[in-house]
Structure 1
Amino acid sequence: MIVSFIEFDRRFSLTISLVAAFCISAISIAQTKVGGVVYDTDGVTVPFANVVFPNSSEGTITNDDGRFYLQSDNSYDAIEVSFIGYKTKLVKLESQVTLDFEITLESDEAQLDAVVVYSGKTSKKTNPALDILRKIWENRRKNGLSQFDQYQYEKYEKLEFDLNTIDSTMINSRLFEGMEFIFNYADTSSTSGKTYLPIFINEALSTVYGDNKLNKEKDVLKANKNSGFSNNQTLIALVKDLYTDIDIYDRHIKFFDKSFVSPIGRAGIDSYNYVLRDTAAIDGVRSFNIVYYPRRKGELTFKGDFWVADSTFAIKEINLQATKSANVNWVKDIYLEQEYQVLNDSLFLITRDYFQSDFAFNKKEEGKGVYGKRTTLYDQYQFDIKKPDDFYRRRVNDYDPETYNRSEQYWDENRLEKLNKDEKQIYTMLDTLRQNKKFNRIYNIGSILSSGYYEVNNFDIGPVFSIFGFNDVEGLRLRGGGRTYFGPNDPWRIEGYLAYGFRDDQVKYGLSGKYLLDKRSRLTIQAGNRRDIEQLAASLTNTDDVLGRSLASSALISTGNNGRLSSINLSTVSLSFEPLYNLEFRLGGSYRTIKSANPDFFSLNYLDDSGVEKSQVNQSEVGLTMTYTPGRKTSNYGVDRSIINPFQYPILYANYTRGLEDVLNSDFNYDKFQIYYEHPLQIGGFGRLRARVEAGKTFGEVPLALLNVVPGNQTLFNIAGSFNTMNFYEFVTDEYVTLHLDHNFNGRLFSRIPGLRDLDLRELIGFKAVYGSISADNVAINRSNIDYLAPEDIYYEYSFGIGNIFRILRIDASFRGNYNDLPDARNFAITGSFGFSF
């Protein structure tokens, strides 16, 4: 088994009792532990060198810095260190635990002359390892589940999170005062040598069904259990989403929203060096052993080795470890092992999948972090058992409380792998910890930061991130609100807020209530009312959300004057349902009044049918919307749900609105159609593109307040769907088409530039365009102080940006492509955004 190494913390110091416990653990669990650094004669570290116990299949490869860690349940008295172009060195072990080796390899000129193709970068032409790799590609479809029309199997998944690099400083920290007992449960990692403390464990049992003819798969959860957070479905779903299933045969493997080049896929030949190291019998099958490591630093690649059968060219065993220089935030190490079972000469099926990641704020060896570990076992494969076509249809509500409350006897009888003593103790420790008042305080702080709400009995106060705002009408704006909250699956909820502007000396509010009438179809009724100040020109696709906070209306910092705000009084009622999973229809009605919130600066005036100039719009509407979000993952099954994978799924939105004249003193008849489609695309190793196309048309005479104003952006923040160099109300349309493209290269270019690659910056480019027109009738009734201008010559802008600054900041420079001669035109704009991402 190939494992990674991270230098053992030399400041490591525990109490006498813990040292004794670890000594017993070292004897009973791992007989031999070695670690250190490999150098050449010039004192330069040697990455990707082989370190093995002699006459065994147990070994590892040094990391980017030449470091290694190797552990075995057996006793050994030596290790063997080798690398192409160097003399193999046998190092005697004077102790069963030695973690500070400094090993120097001498150059082997004869070997370099004989095997020149394997020194440094390996050849792409005369390399036997690549001949084997090509055979793997040719035989891919002949291996595994793809041989059958249908398949099913049992799956057991165990997820665990652990604090790592436990030392005396952490133990004596005031943070853990009153919780010191938890360190009695500390252990040592078999892959890194770090001391760790388990903080979360989750187990899941399921049956997986698949149909290759229909290209469908269904995972039926039978049981789920975790330590202390059994009812937190969002936490469980978030953890599971971090560790998606992978196919090593794909060109790219997705981890943490990043596409790593697979060493088995066809793209690997340009990103890896391959060396044929050995042949041996694995489970009675003669197999080749191939070592691989990156050709360049800074790219999303792995290092490790794999065993491949010499007849079917199916992978038998593989391990992958992300290189330390890979541009991934908050993750110091990624390590993966997969094992496959031979059922006959041509059929290999995965039986075990182990994945470990080391989450940390920095990648220094001594840096503390959190291990995330997933072990997945597969068993009881069955084939060609056909299911009805509707069997694979995703149900809107498949929540079964019994699934999360299985008995201990059920788990003992159905686990595919029994828990060891340490894992059983995790449940004991964490269940005890949940009763600790200090721990619950820390947990509540984390909950506030993640949800934005502070819980008080059955009421949540918040969201805390919307407290402060500023605009030219209200000046400094304070907002506070809350919602009812009895649990994540509440069938009803009431929410509201109050806001106050110190400049206009006015109180605003919003109030909304909703009730889930039917869980299966998610039939929901909702109503609300809002009186507030709003920037109407912030979005083309308007919604009737009475509680939303518009950044365009209340950003703390903006460019130019953002006083073109409107005062609205909006009342809504709607009925929504989901006939299919992630397909929602909503039928609703609304009544609103709209007038200028700043009449000395901004006018919404228009002529009515009798030629009288009016300053306020009174409007009744009914509308039908459809939202389709394939691939969206949610948790909870009450009236509100949490989205697990935001920005990672496509969205199709369509809306029809009918304006009703004379209903509740309404002013206008009109019909409005709007549609947009947004799609994130992972373009192999070239990063992620997010594309959005939007179009709409309004039929009938309507004033400025009801037209489609192209959304400008006068804030210093990136606002989705808006144009960064455009001012509010600069372009007005009653029909339009827009295109938004935003591409993140994820550091692919900067990683090849010395001096920049170590900063882990990411390159960003963008392009936005809009075409629109406006009818003569709509121009004729305009009496506002806005001169209507439609972008009939396509308006466009483009941008260049740098992301991942300090791991959280993105800055974009946007350039206006045309219409530069307009009054107050902004030819250039700087915008930014904050966010946590991998």
Structure 2
Amino acid sequence: MRYIYLFYLTLFGALSAFAQTKVSGVINDESGNPVPFANVIYANSSIGTISNDDGSFYLESDQNFDSIQISFVGFKSQSLPLTQSATYNITIVLEEEASALDEVVIYQGKTSKKNNPAIDILKKIWENKRENGIYKFDQYQYKKYEKQEFDLNTIDSSLINSRIFNGMEFIFDETDTNSVTGKTYLPIFINEAIYRVYGNNESNKEKEVLLGNKNSGFSNNQTLIAFLKDLYKEYNVYDNYLKFFDKSFVSPLSRTGINVYNYVLADSSYIDNKWCYKIVYYPRRKNELTFKGDFWVNDTTWAIKKIKLAATKSANINWIRDIYIEQDFDVLNDSIFLITRDHFMSDFAFKKKDEARGVYGKRTTLYDDYAFDIDRGNQFYNNDREQYIEKVYNRDDSFWAQNRMESLNKDEQKVYKMLDTLKTVKAFQRLYNIGSILASGYIEFDNFDYGPIFSTFGYNDVEGIRVRAGGRTYFGRNDPWRIEGYTAYGFKDNKFKYGLSGKILVDDRSRLIISGGNRRDIEQLGASLTNTNDVLGRSLASSSLITVGSNTSLTNINLSTFALEVEPLKNFQIRFGGSYRTLRSASDKFSLAYYTDENQTAIKSEIDQTEISTIFTYSPGRKTTGYGVERTIINDGDFPRLFLNYSLGVKDVFSSDFEYKKIQFYYRHPWQLGGFGKLTTTLEAGKTFGDVPLALLNVVPGNQTLFSIYGAYPLLDFYEFVTDTYASVHVEHNFNGRFFGRIPLIRDLNLREIVAIRAVSGSISDENQALNASYSNPVLLAPNNKPYWSYSLGVGNIFNVFRLDFHFRGNYFENPGARKFGVTGSFGFYF
């Protein structure tokens, strides 16, 4: 999904709003140092903001005000008159106060954790948070209206006159300033959706039914809609951690909040006839995933009435310059506070400098029509299979007029009209096509996509330079069938290779899919422990442009497959397949030869093998988009995956050589550990029953490339360890800058520390050893005396896109050519 993120980051833009009073500036102390997290409000109102890390602020309202008030603990409050509707770039100097402001606000800088009335109130919130909102009921349901918008911000003459917008200048006719940042922005995209949400707190299950969806210019695009929905995940401010953009921010209402936030009791007042306290909070340290802002809390239920959260600019998160959140809650039956409005705004930008151009992403969610304790039974929630209903994406105007919980303003209505016009402009079509290539890796033609373009070039020691051309049929996002294929040519071996596959969706409810294909190519079989007979699959190890040492241990493969796949339960797939493959060495420096008689006098160098398999795959929490034969995963790497494969080698069918049984298990689980980062654990185990030669054994995956490949052992050469019974574990933890963020100078680089450890134990039987007719390359060796292990120390987020891993071998130094140390790297666009 990282390419989709890049695509929409460069393509989308801003929404217009009208305001009557605007003011911006910077707040300093008497020494000229900025005062971060100071309160700025319009006089005699509750409309305000908090200054940024650098003391800057922007405040806007659609009402008229004649002055603002500035205050911060330890400083004298100050009032500043406003003589005009827009007052920009003012400098405010706060004087330190010699004595305490009053008995309530007595803190300066870091607030005390003791004798602090704000923290006393916070403890009341912790005690009562499970007694508030929808959690108070066994079952709940409500209606939800969601509006998502993208705006291009920091509009100036250089952008307007840019060649990229030649022929599209009319889109700049309407611009305005953002009410949070004060930046000029231009609207370009809007998506609306209506849902009915059902939940059961007893079984902890929830079901969301889409009633209608509409967007500007990209109608019926489920991939875009699902991507946006995953980008702006649902969250609960009462949780200890709030996950945005794959990062866990500490909630100001968290039980651990007192360790990372300062809290000040700033005010008290009636809000909707409820007496509430206002608490201001701000971070204790820089570079942590924290917020600044304030919240109002009721004095009897200790429920949140209003809350504002703004991410600090020093937070260790990429491509995000600002995050701003507002939530409002209403009272049901005079006691239960339910969320009624949630507004989320983020500012995407390649640079965090204020003058840098970026894209606003906004989501406004409204909640209404609550109902409780209506039991719908477990079957209602278990039947959560998504189906494509065309009318849901093509609702008429009367549906939206009836179901919108707030009307579109004039500027939001203009977005729909503008995109309709833009689609007819050739310049926009070119821009859209470029973004589409980045997002999918394919170049689109009428009913055919060429690609993936990222696989065009490769290199290995057998083929030399390798070029590849391929494509797939594409009639729409929900195609019930698809054919794809490729051809490749190696300039060293002067041979053509190819692959061709097809699949058809027979039943969309059970997702019964029939597939088959044939491939003749060169492959690195020793690149994965747990693998399947994928017709078009190819590992990075097979054609990496940069390698460590020579890579001649490649295999010529002629593979034909046929399979039936079904999904009886959501995210649980069963695949029945059969395959026939011919395997032989692709190099005279590598041998797959084996003995065919007990006296070891007859040798065969080619293997013909028929195999049938049953594969079970379960991915709880996986989110996909698309209703056709192929679906796109939108939360890749964010859910556990369990894989079980039982294979049966059949002898003498199509001249098949061996009879055996093989079982393989794979379990990968990412764990979000709140402020401690993300832990990823992987376990693999397998066993082959029966006597088989090298080509059918399990090779511990080495890595002779300079790229970090998850699941591979970076200091092992290909075929360094070969097993018929194995167990492997890989543990990797990304601390997300928790320690680097506390080291002066280094913390400003926003680096992220990563540690990993890998271990594998396995054995190979004497019978399988005896089958091997090669005495040099490879020598069959298994890590059976003791587990082989290595560890890695990594530094991520270098220049926001690069990661370096430093690997250290733990044992088996006596192996021929054993590498004790190595460095690999990888590129990626991560938040």
- Using the size of structure 1 for normalisation, the TM-score is 0.96
Tell me which residue corresponds to 1:826. 819
Tell me which residue corresponds to 2:38. 49
1:323 matched to 2:312? The reply is yes
Deviation at 1:215, TM superposition (A): 1.1
Alpha-carbon displacement from aligned partner over 1:469-501 (angstroms, at most 9, x marks no partner): 000111111111011111111111111111111
Deviation at 1:346, TM superposition (A): 2.5
1:162 matched to 2:155? The reply is no
Task: Look up the equivalent residue of 1:819 and give its one-letter code.
Answer: Y
- Supply the distance in 2 between the matched residues of 1:203 and 1:98 (Cα, whole angstroms): 35
Deviation at 1:40, TM superposition (A): 0.6
Tell me which residue corresponds to 1:337. 326
Deviation at 1:186, TM superposition (A): 1.9
- Go from structure 1 to structure 2 and tell me whether the alpha carbon gap of 1:106 and 1:636 turns closer, same or farther (over 3 Å shift): same
- Supply the distance in 1 between the matched residues of 2:255 and 2:351 (Cα, whole angstroms): 32
Q: Greater shift after overlay, 347-356 or 84-93? A: 84-93
Tell me which residue corresponds to 1:589. 578
1:788 matched to 2:777? The reply is no
Residues 466 and 549 of structure 1 are in contact (CA less than 8 Å); yes or no, is this contact kept in structure 2?
no
CA RMSD in angstroms, aligned pairs only: 1.3
Tell me which residue corresponds to 2:594. 606
Tell me which residue corresponds to 2:363. 374
1:209 matched to 2:201? The reply is no
Question: Once superposed, which parts of structure 1, at least 4 consecutive aligned residues long, lie more than 6 Å away?
Answer: 112-116
2:486 to 497, 505, 528: 497
- Supply the distance in 1 between the matched residues of 2:322 and 2:406 (Cα, whole angstroms): 26
1:400 matched to 2:389? The reply is yes
Tell me which residue corresponds to 2:9. none
Deviation at 1:767, TM superposition (A): 0.4
Tell me which residue corresponds to 2:273. 284
1:414 to 400, 403, 408: 403
Task: Look up the equivalent residue of 1:279 and give its one-letter code.
Answer: S
Deviation at 1:231, TM superposition (A): 1.9
Tell me which residue corresponds to 2:550. 561
Residues 585 and 625 of structure 1 are in contact (CA less than 8 Å); yes or no, is this contact kept in structure 2?
yes
1:439 to 428, 449, 469: 428
Aligned residues: 812
Task: Look up the equivalent residue of 2:193 and give its one-letter code.
Answer: A
1:236 to 214, 225, 246: 225
Alpha-carbon displacement from aligned partner over 1:51-98 (angstroms, at most 9, x marks no partner): 111111111110101011111222122111111111111112122101
Deviation at 1:716, TM superposition (A): 0.5
Residues 611 and 649 of structure 2 are in contact (CA less than 8 Å); yes or no, is this contact kept in structure 1?
yes
Residues 100 and 106 of structure 2 are in contact (CA less than 8 Å); yes or no, is this contact kept in structure 1?
no
Tell me which residue corresponds to 1:153. 142
Partner SS state of residue 470, structure 1:
strand
1:765 to 755, 761, 768: 755
Residues 483 and 494 of structure 1 are in contact (CA less than 8 Å); yes or no, is this contact kept in structure 2?
yes
1:641 to 618, 626, 631: 631
Task: Look up the equivalent residue of 2:676 and give its one-letter code.
Answer: F
- Supply the distance in 2 between the matched residues of 1:524 and 1:422 (Cα, whole angstroms): 45
2:641 to 645, 651, 671: 651
Deviation at 1:440, TM superposition (A): 1.1
- Supply the distance in 2 between the matched residues of 1:95 and 1:499 (Cα, whole angstroms): 69
Residues 74 and 106 of structure 2 are in contact (CA less than 8 Å); yes or no, is this contact kept in structure 1?
no
- Supply the distance in 1 between the matched residues of 2:324 and 2:283 (Cα, whole angstroms): 15
Residues 396 and 578 of structure 1 are in contact (CA less than 8 Å); yes or no, is this contact kept in structure 2?
no
Tell me which residue corresponds to 1:124. 113
Q: How does 1:326-725 map to 2 (within 5 A)?
A: 326-599=315-588, 601-609=589-597, 611=600, 612-725=602-715
- Supply the distance in 1 between the matched residues of 2:49 and 2:322 (Cα, whole angstroms): 15
Deviation at 1:114, TM superposition (A): 7.1
Alpha-carbon displacement from aligned partner over 1:785-831 (angstroms, at most 9, x marks no partner): 32211111110000001111111111100100000121100001111
Residues 81 and 88 of structure 1 are in contact (CA less than 8 Å); yes or no, is this contact kept in structure 2?
yes
Q: Greater shift after overlay, 342-351 or 407-416? A: 342-351
Deviation at 1:187, TM superposition (A): 2.3
Residues 396 and 522 of structure 1 are in contact (CA less than 8 Å); yes or no, is this contact kept in structure 2?
no
Which structure 2 segments of 5+ residues have no match? 1-14
- Go from structure 1 to structure 2 and tell me whether the alpha carbon gap of 1:60 and 1:395 turns closer, same or farther (over 3 Å shift): closer
Deviation at 1:549, TM superposition (A): 2.4
Tell me which residue corresponds to 2:804. 811
Partner SS state of residue 423, structure 1:
helix
Partner SS state of residue 557, structure 1:
coil
Which structure 1 segments of 5+ residues have no match? 1-21
- Supply the distance in 2 between the matched residues of 1:544 and 1:797 (Cα, whole angstroms): 29
- Supply the distance in 1 between the matched residues of 2:132 and 2:242 (Cα, whole angstroms): 18
Tell me which residue corresponds to 2:69. 80
Task: Look up the equivalent residue of 1:607 and give its one-letter code.
Answer: Y
Partner SS state of residue 111, structure 1:
coil
Residues 105 and 264 of structure 2 are in contact (CA less than 8 Å); yes or no, is this contact kept in structure 1?
no
Residues 73 and 106 of structure 2 are in contact (CA less than 8 Å); yes or no, is this contact kept in structure 1?
no
- Supply the distance in 2 between the matched residues of 1:152 and 1:260 (Cα, whole angstroms): 28
- Using the size of structure 2 for normalisation, the TM-score is 0.96
Deviation at 1:396, TM superposition (A): 3.5
Partner SS state of residue 64, structure 1:
coil
Residues 51 and 80 of structure 1 are in contact (CA less than 8 Å); yes or no, is this contact kept in structure 2?
yes
Q: Greater shift after overlay, 573-582 or 542-551? A: 542-551
Deviation at 1:414, TM superposition (A): 1.2
Residues 117 and 123 of structure 1 are in contact (CA less than 8 Å); yes or no, is this contact kept in structure 2?
no
Deviation at 1:117, TM superposition (A): 5.0
- Supply the distance in 2 between the matched residues of 1:684 and 1:789 (Cα, whole angstroms): 42
Tell me which residue corresponds to 1:19. none
Task: Look up the equivalent residue of 1:687 and give its one-letter code.
Answer: G
- Supply the distance in 2 between the matched residues of 1:212 and 1:604 (Cα, whole angstroms): 58
- Supply the distance in 1 between the matched residues of 2:117 and 2:141 (Cα, whole angstroms): 37
Q: Greater shift after overlay, 777-786 or 391-400? A: 391-400
Task: Look up the equivalent residue of 1:362 and give its one-letter code.
Answer: K
Partner SS state of residue 234, structure 1:
helix
- Go from structure 1 to structure 2 and tell me whether the alpha carbon gap of 1:172 and 1:226 turns closer, same or farther (over 3 Å shift): same
- Supply the distance in 2 between the matched residues of 1:657 and 1:200 (Cα, whole angstroms): 49
Q: How does 1:742-761 map to 2 (within 5 A)?
A: 742-761=732-751
